[in-house]
Amino acid sequence: MKLVLGLLLGSCSLAHGLTSDSQTIKRDDPGVSSPSYRISPIDGSKIALPTKEQLAWQDKEIGVIIHFEIATYLSVDGCNNIPNLLPNQSLFDPVSLNTDQWVETINSLGAKYATLVAKHNCGFTTWPSEVTFLTRDNETIHYNYTIAQSPVHGKDVVTSFVESAQKGNIGHGFYYSLMWNNFLNVQSGGVITSSWTPGQVNITNSTYNQVVLDQLTELWTQHGNLTEIWFDGGYTETQQVKIQSLLETQQPGAVVFNGCQTNGTCISANPVRWIGTEAGAAPEETWSSGLSNDGGDPQSPYFCPAECDTTLQTGDRWFYGVNQTLRSLEEMKDVYHKTVGRNCVLELDLAPDRSGLVPSNQAARYKELGDFIKTCYGNPIAHKVSRNEKGIYSLTFGKPTSIDRIVLMEDQTNGQVIRSYEVYAKIADSRSSNGGHVPYTFISNGTSVGHKKIDLFNKAISVTGVLVNSTYVDIPKWRSVSVHLCD
């Protein structure tokens, strides 16, 4: 899966949410795509405000994106940028298809939602689409490049996935590529009329736009409330208005990946942005606001949290690859710390094999990562807490306590307001030269906290107290500060 952002070179925010009673929500324009923000009582800057859906999505922290369709049976990683590649429907034959097993793996990772690739760039749909359309020869035909024309006709991967997700108590969503469809000879959002491969159907651009809308309607109206909707590569200007209307009426609570353009025109009130890399590493300074595919911008009035998508297979491989090696557990721990630990939601690829199951070595690696996260961060070290009204959070311990990391979480209900922080500790057995009081020693610092920031120390230290100080554009509300000993 390559994130070739066509029309959408970035994502934006439609931030609207709660503020304190003394402050007023501002809007640049009255339309759905206008940002919502409040004014800092300290320096007059704009503080972008989130929707409750954006905050709920950030709370999930880890999701998966499931790549399973006809491209699973190819040696190449999908039909990307190969306009004449049209795999025959007979290839799609998952004889052991078991979406419950997928969800078991997802739960072992600790992921809270899953986004299924329902249609990728080949054009094959993993549900039996009932859409009909006119060809250029003025013939009405069914969209006949689906699971219904495969050896497992009668099955429906989309419905099965949704049912398994609901049983497994995880959120579900869909990826549908609008800009590419080899079956209908569409590249970069437009129909190629100069040539086509046997099996491809020749249609007009207006017909293609209607097919897109009809298939999105099938996906968005038959499977309950979606957690996330993916537009990989964006959408065309001619598709925008109708897709926005469909979202508003059918899936207003879903967050939308690539739901905005860099100029602030959005098709959803709950957009999220791409971090700009598939390596699984967000910038150290990653903000919940901003329009660009990078670490964001604390000055932006658009609340648009970041999503970090990456693979478990090596070589940036998204669909199942025969004998494809996996990234090590140590590398995946690093991915976790450089995504979730840097205010970015991690969406990790899940690639079922050609039988329709998550391979055992991949399932084991997901569980190993989930077990590490649970063991390391599931039980913070007990401490006493004292806070004041100036952005300081302090922890005290009844005895010298070894720690090797700290986890900071900001309450972003009224926007992300912390602009920098410093962490200090009272090191056990250290004394000042003039009174016996234990001084505070600097141990880490940073800028953005947002939903979550994790600082790892070079080595474990024994402490009797920890203090976090911050700078801000409004007095922050700490959601939590915890310390841990994992290595």
Provide the CATH number for the domain formed by 384-484 in this structure.
Answer: 2.60.120.260
Which amino acid appears at position 438 of this protein? V
**224 Cβ contact partners less than 8 Å away, ≥ 6 residues apart:** 162, 166, 172
| pLDDT band (50, 70, 90) for residue 29 | low
Model pLDDT for residues 200-246, shown as the tens digit of each residue: 999 999 999 999 999 999 999 999 999 999 998 889 999 999 999 99
Using alpha carbons, select from 468, 450, 466 the residue that is nearest to residue 61.
450
- 26-377, CATH topology level: TIM Barrel (3.20.20)
Average pLDDT value for residue range 187-206: 93
Q: Is the pLDDT of residue 434 over 80?
A: no
Model pLDDT for residues 311-365, shown as the tens digit of each residue: 999 999 999 999 999 999 999 999 999 999 999 999 999 999 999 999 999 999 9
Quote the CA–CA distance of 11 and 256 in Å, as a whole number: 9
| pLDDT band (50, 70, 90) for residue 31 | very low
Distances in Å between the alpha carbon of 482 and those of 209, 377, 435?
50, 9, 29
Specify the residue for token string 């199942």: 320
pLDDT for the residue numbered 14? 28
Are 397 and 463 in contact, with CB atoms under 8 Å apart? Answer: yes
**331 Cβ contact partners less than 8 Å away, ≥ 6 residues apart:** none
Q: Which residues of 29-42 are buried (b: 16+ CB within 10 A; e: fewer)?
A: eeeebbbbbbbbee
Q: Is the pLDDT of residue 25 over 70?
A: no
User: Which token pair is 44?
Assistant: 């007059």
Quote the CA–CA distance of 391 and 343 in Å, as a whole number: 19
pLDDT for the residue numbered 21? 35
- Stronger pLDDT, 251 or 260, i.e. the higher one: 251
- Rounded to 10°, the helix 205-221/237-250 angle is 20
**477 Cβ contact partners less than 8 Å away, ≥ 6 residues apart:** 410, 411, 413, 414
CB atoms within 10 A of CB 73: 17
- SS3 state of residue 245: helix
Half-sphere exposure in the Cβ direction for 388 (13 Å, CA): 7
CB atoms within 10 A of CB 49: 28
Q: Which residues of 281-316 are buried (b: 16+ CB within 10 A; e: fewer)?
A: bbbebbbbbbbbbbbbebebbbbbbbbbbbbbbeee
Domain boundaries, the chain: 26-377, 384-484
Mean per-residue pLDDT over the chain, rounded: 91
Quote the CA–CA distance of 331 and 333 in Å, as a whole number: 5
- pTM for this model (two decimals): 0.92
**Secondary structure string (H, E, C) spanning 14-83:** CCCCCCCCCCCCEECCCCCCCCEEEECCCCCCEEECCCHHHHHHHHHCEEEEECCCHHHHCCCCCCCCCC
